[in-house]
Amino acid sequence: MTDPAAPSSPPPPSAPPTPPVPLAALLAREDLGLRQIAGPDARTVGTAVQWVHTSEMPDPYPYLLGGELLLTAGVHITDPAGAGGYLDDYVARIVAAGGAALGFGVAPVHDTVPRALVEACDHYGLPLVEVPPRTTFSGVARAVWRLMAEARHAELRRVTEAQQGLATAAARTDPIPAVLRQLAARIGGLTVLYGPDGTELQTAGQARDAARHALRELTGVVRRGTPAAPASAADTAGATHLAAYALGGGRGFALGVATDRREPGDHTIAGAAVVLLSLLTGEHQSASEAARSAALVRLLLGASPTDIGPLLGSDLWTVVHARGEHTPLAASALAAALGSGLVDPHSDDVVRLLVPADREITPTDGWTLGVAAPAPPGDLAAADTRAARALRRAEATRQPLVRHHENGLAALVSPEEATAHARVLLAPLDDNGPLTETLRTWLSLHGSWDRTAVALGVHRNTVRQRIARCANLLGSDVDDPDVRMELWFALNRTP
């Protein structure tokens, strides 16, 4: 007799796409006439079948994945009376491979189940099922797949009803406690919302104290303390199953779940609760967000930008104009990528953002960015204009990102003197917006008629006419490099 421990245990089988079927449910099918004749009672131990496999191999071990109901007609048993040692090895190999149960077909090879096979199954604790002559193996397999389909349908119905219940709870006046209560009722356990510091903010359901403590420790793994923190984690505390989920938004909230048993679909139901709680906890403002709200209120009530600067949490801000997928969701995703919560997605077809000056702004897929130089709160209006110009230049030159930079010589002239000089030089244009913007764009693109037309969205002949009009009003030769340099300097000193 070979040592059943000799073969190395196979790796755990991958979970099938459908829930396993209780062997007891298969035995209860009167149309099959199956009868358990050996091994632990399937109704008591809860034996589950994940799939069906038919084999007449003397050693089925290499062909089993684990969890099978192995069906055989005993073709490989040539001498039932003297096959005790062989059948003992045979059953030991099935158990070592992780087989769930053995089904033996009576007739046409054997009239009865060999007694040695019954004894071996009792010895190794493998459920042995007698398959009557009228029941085909394909009929058994079909019944298993049908039971799996019914279980899958029941699971989907349970998940759907749970998701509907959670959505209804989220619409209540006390949404967070209602969602936690609904989740606890659906999965039959404890649900806890943890704050960024690990404190229990809301709870629903019951669990043992030891499990509750272990759950708090587990949520510490997923709370957003480090960029490498996982989105979810699972563990056990005694017989209690634990699961922790990080809530979106990067604020450090987490959901903890403790249940005495884990049912198919529980993870999906918890996932729906995570989405809802992420949205609900996102409404809770952090200290910095509350300060920014206060800054907005003060600004609307007449405070100057300089006065509200300290509330914004940064001395310098970078104004960014972006053009891409113009939806609130896409704009929020862009803001998250740039590290800012201050975004205006409703400015025509351009998204405008305020980004703390210490954040690095890099090209972002799907977006064209115009970036102004960092500015204090009092100069943000001028920075907004410069970001718009940078965006137009980025689009004209087909670059993903263009930054507006001050000329190096500009630092040698005081802002007051530069602005006064610009006003005198550009006075003939009489604040004509289209002429001024055309001249500025044309100079920034090195006198390119085509690229200026693209940037402004006008015909190239319109660009030529406007530049000629500017040259006439200014009395200057705009083809002269010195004139262009002076005009460029002046245009950058005006809004």
Contact yes or no for 378/372 (Cβ under 8 A): no
Q: Could you give the percent of the chain with pLDDT greater than 90?
A: 27
* pLDDT-derived band at 420, boundaries 50, 70, 90: confident
Query: Alpha-carbon distance 421 to 19, whole Å?
Result: 79
Tell me the CATH class for 21-147.
alpha beta
pLDDT for res 412: 45
pLDDT for the residue 59:
93
Q: Which residue has the higher pLDDT, 196 or 241?
A: 241
Write down the pLDDT at residue 249.
58
pLDDT averaged over every residue in the chain: 82
Q: Which CATH class is domain 172-281?
A: alpha beta
Give the separation between CA 48 and CA 462, rounded to whole angstroms: 78
Q: How far apart are CA 187 and CA 215, in angstroms?
A: 16
Rounded Cα distance between 242 and 219, Å, is 10
Show Cβ contacts of residue 379 under 8 Å, excluding neighbours closer than 6 positions.
none
Whether residue 108 has a cis bond before it, omega within 30° of 0: yes
- What per-residue confidence (pLDDT) applies to 35? 95
Whether the full predicted model's pTM is greater than 0.75, yes or no, is no
What pLDDT is stored for residue 1 in this prediction? 40
DSSP string spanning 309-334?
GGGGT-S-EEEEEEES--SHHHHHHH
* Mean local confidence (pLDDT), 231-246: 88
The full set of domain ranges for the chain reads: 21-147, 172-281, 287-312, 315-405, 410-491
**CA–CA gap between residue 95 and residue 97 (Å, rounded):** 5
AA letter at 58: P
pLDDT at 318 exceeding the cut of 90: no
Q: Using CA atoms, how far apart are residues 118 and 130, in angstroms rounded to an integer?
A: 10
pLDDT digits (tens, 9 = 90+) for 253-287: 889 999 988 887 888 898 888 888 888 776 544 55
Q: What is the pLDDT of residues 378-413, one digit of tens each?
A: 778 888 888 888 888 888 778 889 887 655 445 445
Q: What is the mean pLDDT of residues 100-105?
A: 96
Structure tokens at 103: 């089904």
Q: What is the pLDDT of residue 296?
A: 66
Q: How far apart are CA 373 and CA 405, in angstroms?
A: 6
What are 33's two structure tokens?
């006439």
In whole angstroms, what separates CA 162 from the centre of its chain?
Answer: 20
Q: What is the mean pLDDT of residues 176-192?
A: 91
- Could you tell me which residues come within 8 angstroms of residue 146 by beta carbon, excluding any fewer than 6 positions away? none
pLDDT over 90 at 128, yes or no = yes
CATH superfamily assigned to domain 410-491: PucR C-terminal helix-turn-helix domain (1.10.10.2840)
Mean pLDDT within 39-63: 92
Half-sphere exposure of 342 (CA within 13 A, CB side): 21
Do the bridges between strand 48-49 and strand 368-371 make them parallel or antiparallel, or are there none, so unpaired?
unpaired
CB hemisphere CA count around 487 (13 angstroms):
30
